[in-house]
Structure 1
Amino acid sequence: MTSAIRYRRDIDGLRALAILPVLLFHAHVPGFSGGYVGVDIFFVISGYLITGIIAREVDEGRFSLVRFYERRFRRIMPALSLMILAVLAAAAFLYLPGDLEGVPKSALAATLFASNLWFFTDTGYFSGGADVKPLLHTWSLAVEEQYYIGFPILLMLLARFAPRWRTMVVAGIAALSLAIAIAMQRDTSGFTFYLLPTRAWELFAGALLALGALPPLRSRWLRELVAWIGLAAVALAVIFYDRNTVFPGVTALAPVLGAAALIHAAPGTAIGRLLGWGPMVGVGLISYSLYLWHWPLIVFTEYATDLPLSGGTRVIVIGAALLAGTASWRFVERPFRDAQRMPARAIFRFTGGAMALLCLLSLGLVAMGGWPSRFAPQVLAQMAGQTDFAPSRKQCHDSYMRGARPCTLGANVPPDAMLWGDSHGVELAYALSLAARAQGRSLIERTTSSCPPVLGYDAKDPRCAAANRAAFDAIRADRGLKRIYLAAFWANGDFDDPGFVAKLDRTIAAIRAEGREVVLIGPVPPQPFDVPRHLAHLARAGHLAEAHGVDRTWVEARTVHLRALFARWQAKGVRLIDPIAALCATGRCAIEQAGRPLYFDSHHLSVAGAQLVTDAR
């Protein structure tokens, strides 16, 4: 039997508990490093509420797919359509050509509820580039709508052919989805994060509650205990998870089961009264619109300022998001959800018209290819730095992960050197190969994303250790390799840990024990902005002469232990190529030279930058 679904203030309060951590996480507010789990809470709430409605109507013999999708369109499309339209307009005004190109493509995907599929192929949630994708957050809406394509039909079929097995079948599918999510939790492609098969169990968790899979808790003290445990599970995830947490998978159990516990046990408890508190309910009521508007406001603000939100700007943007969410709820959501003011036929006409308009606008912008005619040539010249990466990058990088042979660069002769590193090594390998070709030599490139050349390094992707072991074995097997270059994102903030430095120390010693020369390529100074974009913004404002990067002292403070290790090995005869010395000779690190950006993003050297560094050795 389904449990009766009636209005519960505490569930609106739970929506607030979902949206506020998401907002504060995206706004970089300290203490909310795991705020992204708010999306998982939304999934549980949605599964509970929508399943309760569908199952009750199916049981009563009055369920209609047409009426169901009418309600979904009323709830989703008006506010979503307005937000997408505003994003297209703002991006067309603000974005540089290379950044604009992806926006209409994502708008098209969001309009068709396929943005999770688009972003799965385009970017990771926490990877570089996400900060200029103002519709990235629509992936979760796509997951929900894809779920609701098949789920009502499943419940209808079960009611007709196997009514007694309904809960068990739903539980079995949920268990299968969870098992897939756990099995793939270390997958780095984005499949587990973005796609329905590994997210469905979170919606099913709420669905099972609505289907009465758990008996009601009669004891007051037990309800209080379960509610407190649920709140603690959610809070711990919000506070202690971060961008490095392997998620989703096992780690998603805490926020999902915590949300389910609150739905099941909170009524009549102290936690239930807290969730039913007026301000919590108020935020919960605007949570959908707030979710829609907060991310574009953050993305566009950070894009315009070339800085992450902080201080007063952060307060202003959070306030603007709350105002936009409130206005959208009051003047868009509520009128369209009123069947008296907006009958069903009008909703379907609106939805069809809005989707057609957004698709046409998106396709038009796609055809314009970034609309470069909006900008002066000097602006476009700086933005072109985003593509100044090694022509061999696509073919040669991550060769181990793709099961391909590593590339040999330079002259057509047996290699006498290898560059072993992470993605920072790609352009450095290419720059070194240009010099090698001129000398009639060649070198092997072995670079693996997010995988520094350190034996025993324990990364999120377990294949990193295998890739490093394969690189070292290749060094041992090829006596023709006389020189080994080591390159990585040493200044990323994590690699200066003494434990990591000790592993690097042992790796250098192991290579030298094989009789090979080691050349250390030191830390590349990371910048707080995308360098070509920042330079293009300065050129647009006529202030390109003011371009500069971070202070040298900041980079040096970030890499104290690593630089001490490098100096120690340099004293023993190991060669050092020092990007800090090459780029930061004046105290402020250079980010452009002769009109060319020295980076193609915030921390990867462009070909121009790599040549500057390697020529200065």
Structure 2
Amino acid sequence: MHGPAPASTPGDGTANPHPAAGRYRRDIDGLRALAILPVLLFHAHVPGFSGGYVGVDIFFVISGFLITGIIAREIDDGRFSLMRFYERRFRRIMPALALMILAVLAAAAWLYLPGDLEGVPRSALAATLFASNLWFFTDTGYFSGGADVKPLLHTWSLAVEEQYYIGFPILLMLLARFAPRWRIVVVALIAAGSLALAILMQRDTSGFTFYLLPTRAWELFAGALLALGAVPSIRPRWARELVAWSGCLAVTLAVTFYDRTTVFPGITALPPVLGAAMLIHAAPGTSMARILALPPLVGVGLISYSLYLWHWPLIVFTEYATDMPLAGGTRIVVVAAALIAATLSWRLVECPFRDSRRVPARHIFRFTGAAMALLCILSLALLAMGGWPSRFDPPALAQMAGQHDFAPSRKQCHDTFLRNARPCTLGAATRPDAMLWGDSHGVELAYALSLDAKARGGALIERTTSSCPPVLGYDATDPRCAAANRAAFDAIRADPAIRRVYMAAFWANGNFDSPAFVARLDRTIAALRALGRDVVLIGPVPPQPFDVPRRLAHLAQAGRTDAAQGVTRRFVDGRTVHLRALFARWQAHGVRLIDPVAALCDTQSCAIQHDGRPLYFDSHHLGVTGAKLVVARGG
């Protein structure tokens, strides 16, 4: 999930002074609004905000600027206290955060099916302890569930920031004591190192670059350098206007033109980070500052922390309950509900706790300790209940079990190239005469094919790599794909015993139907044929707009499994026009086609269950049940 930083923090209050001038800047609250609104609209699937996730970067810059200014000024005045600093952090972050986590635990315990509930208390523990970025970094893969069932996923960025502020004040204190003249240089060098690491690792697919502090710290340091006076002030009015509007343009272009396929973060994070820095540095006294200071923007900026906290759980729970992405009237209702919840949270929770006259320092520390203890106890209690299956009827639980309909060989045999492991041979104990080459869609299909092969005394090799279709030279999603595919092709060429090659991928994902991709696939098939190999194309699996076992479980709970229906055949055909033309042409030249669409769909719609069992283990991967059916019907 792309997401913004909740505590960069939109929750740092209404009286955040310019470090130099020591006064409140309305335009920065307006800038907070320009950060949170794209995030909200991006998560709500509103067209035109495909890059709205860059709000995290904007928030990080704002936080680095405001909080560094406060810390540096107090250190320079000889009145900085770590205890007071953390009091302010707890005062501004914990009350609203604790209430949100508590509400998420309650809602998930009421709504979530057992397999989905188990992850929520784990993430609640991590969020409570400001370690959720570490948890979500490790909680990846097909067995961990997607962002659509993680209502606390957005707390990763809060954890990044709080981890940053464990060490940063200490660094500034040490520099003030031992190397005051080197303060800017040291901060700049650390920022440069963090940026260099982010760029170096920007194509990393493990989640390290996205979730962890070392590759995110430079964004906070960008604001910190502004607060420390590393950038000279801009005096001419025209120059400030130019810089401010250029910063706005940089942010706007990122929000508009970035999307989920953009390699991010890394060098692509520079435009929103620099854009936010330009607005902070140059906006005062300009027309841009007057726009950012407009009451509606300032109002949204004031509630932006609470809006961040509440919008994501509301979206996740609504989509979970309806088994559909937000759209139409539902989208409007959820966005409005998020704004209302944020306003109430700001007025009734944030404001009272930020008032030291109403809540003295000793009380905020006691509250924080008690809230963290309560949330940890509740999370551990839910964990001990193991998903709490007694809440649901047996038919619903039986459908939900489809989420675990994996090939027994998946963990051992998938992604062997990325793990430098030997590819698996499935089937009989004999020399394999076939290979399945593909992405994750091929795993269960390889297992189903191996059962047929074993029945006739044969065997096949599985070479499947996540997000890597079997196309030579393809590296759009992961630079390792090209190497993995080249290794598979070389293995085929080097082993004359491999007479048949099955090719499987998520063909209907919406990205593989372009003429350029199809031309590469065409050349790959031709290259295999030139080696004298029989090629078997396994066509597109119809993708569903919902998690299939979950949808069937919801229907079973309501006694309506007869209403189960997948996407229309017309939808699938519309996503694979060029691919189908290619497959038909190769069929005419003797290439065999196993077509999941023909196996699973009639003239109108596509099936999602067979004999009362789910055909998929998520929204687009066939489970073993579905793979067996496709192989059997595909001949």
Q: Report TM bin, short chain.
A: over 0.9
In the alignment, what sits opposite 2:550?
Answer: 533
In structure 1, how many angstroms separate the alpha carbons of the residues matched to 2:499 and 2:602?
Answer: 31
8 A contact 1:124–1:190 mirrored in 2: no
1:435 is the counterpart of 2:449: no
8 A contact 1:79–1:333 mirrored in 2: yes
In the alignment, what sits opposite 1:120?
Answer: 137
- In structure 1, list runs of 5 or more residues that go unmatched: none
In the alignment, what sits opposite 1:252?
Answer: 269
Aligned-pair Cα RMSD in Å: 1.2
Letter in 1 for 2:317: F
In structure 2, how many angstroms separate the alpha carbons of the residues matched to 1:85 and 1:5?
Answer: 36
TM-score by length of structure 2 reads: 0.96
Give the secondary-structure state (helix, strand or coil) at the position aligned to 1:402.
coil
8 A contact 1:4–1:52 mirrored in 2: no
Give the secondary-structure state (helix, strand or coil) at the position aligned to 1:443.
strand
In structure 1, how many angstroms separate the alpha carbons of the residues matched to 2:21 and 2:162?
Answer: 23
In the alignment, what sits opposite 1:351?
Answer: 368
Query: How far does residue 4 in structure 1 lie from its aligned partner after superposition?
Result: 3.5
Letter in 2 for 1:113: F
Query: How far does residue 128 in structure 1 lie from its aligned partner after superposition?
Result: 6.4
Letter in 1 for 2:162: E
- In structure 2, list runs of 5 or more residues that go unmatched: 1-17
In structure 2, how many angstroms separate the alpha carbons of the residues matched to 1:270 and 1:404?
Answer: 60
1:161 is the counterpart of 2:195: no
Letter in 1 for 2:81: S
Aligned match of 1:593 in 610, 618, 623?
610
Cα-to-partner distance string for 1:515-547 (whole Å, 9 max, x where unaligned):
110001000000000000000010111111110
In structure 1, how many angstroms separate the alpha carbons of the residues matched to 2:421 and 2:561?
Answer: 42
1:376 is the counterpart of 2:432: no
The 3 A distance-change label for structure 1 pair 354 and 121 is: same
User: What pairs with 1:315-326 in structure 2 (closer than 5 Å)?
Assistant: 315-326=332-343
In the alignment, what sits opposite 1:189?
Answer: 206
Letter in 2 for 1:302: E
8 A contact 1:408–1:444 mirrored in 2: yes
Query: How far does residue 3 in structure 1 lie from its aligned partner after superposition?
Result: 2.5
Aligned match of 2:436 in 384, 401, 419?
419
Give the secondary-structure state (helix, strand or coil) at the position aligned to 2:358.
coil
Cα-to-partner distance string for 1:210-243 (whole Å, 9 max, x where unaligned):
0010111111000000000100000000000000
Higher alpha-carbon deviation: 253-262 or 550-559: 550-559
In the alignment, what sits opposite 1:391?
Answer: 408
8 A contact 1:459–1:465 mirrored in 2: no
8 A contact 1:224–1:269 mirrored in 2: yes
Query: How far does residue 588 in structure 1 lie from its aligned partner after superposition?
Result: 1.2
In the alignment, what sits opposite 1:48?
Answer: 65
Cα-to-partner distance string for 1:590-615 (whole Å, 9 max, x where unaligned):
10011110000000000000000001
In structure 2, how many angstroms separate the alpha carbons of the residues matched to 1:148 and 1:124?
Answer: 30
In the alignment, what sits opposite 1:15?
Answer: 32
User: Which consecutive aligned stretches of 4+ in structure 1 deviate over 6 angstroms post-superposition?
Assistant: none
Aligned match of 2:168 in 147, 151, 159?
151
Letter in 1 for 2:312: W
Higher alpha-carbon deviation: 449-458 or 143-152: 449-458
In the alignment, what sits opposite 1:543?
Answer: 560
TM-score by length of structure 1 reads: 0.99
In the alignment, what sits opposite 1:204?
Answer: 221
Cα-to-partner distance string for 1:57-108 (whole Å, 9 max, x where unaligned):
0001110000000000000000000000000000000000000000000000
Percent of aligned pairs with the same residue? 81
Aligned match of 2:485 in 447, 462, 468?
468
In structure 2, how many angstroms separate the alpha carbons of the residues matched to 1:140 and 1:252?
Answer: 15
In structure 2, how many angstroms separate the alpha carbons of the residues matched to 1:606 and 1:153?
Answer: 52
Letter in 1 for 2:561: L
In the alignment, what sits opposite 1:96?
Answer: 113
In the alignment, what sits opposite 2:248?
Answer: 231
User: What pairs with 1:497-508 in structure 2 (closer than 5 Å)?
Assistant: 497-508=514-525
Letter in 1 for 2:69: G
In the alignment, what sits opposite 2:570?
Answer: 553
Letter in 2 for 1:441: G
8 A contact 2:469–2:506 mirrored in 1: yes
Give the secondary-structure state (helix, strand or coil) at the position aligned to 2:418.
helix
In structure 2, how many angstroms separate the alpha carbons of the residues matched to 1:117 and 1:441?
Answer: 44
Give the secondary-structure state (helix, strand or coil) at the position aligned to 1:401.
coil
In structure 1, how many angstroms separate the alpha carbons of the residues matched to 2:495 and 2:469?
Answer: 21
8 A contact 1:21–1:35 mirrored in 2: yes
Give the secondary-structure state (helix, strand or coil) at the position aligned to 1:457.
coil
In structure 1, how many angstroms separate the alpha carbons of the residues matched to 2:141 and 2:568?
Answer: 30
Letter in 2 for 1:486: M
In the alignment, what sits opposite 1:610?
Answer: 627
8 A contact 1:137–1:295 mirrored in 2: yes
8 A contact 2:247–2:279 mirrored in 1: yes
Aligned match of 2:346 in 318, 325, 329?
329
In the alignment, what sits opposite 1:517?
Answer: 534
8 A contact 1:521–1:578 mirrored in 2: yes
In the alignment, what sits opposite 2:589?
Answer: 572
In the alignment, what sits opposite 2:7?
Answer: none
8 A contact 1:177–1:199 mirrored in 2: yes
Give the secondary-structure state (helix, strand or coil) at the position aligned to 2:571.
helix
Letter in 2 for 1:337: R
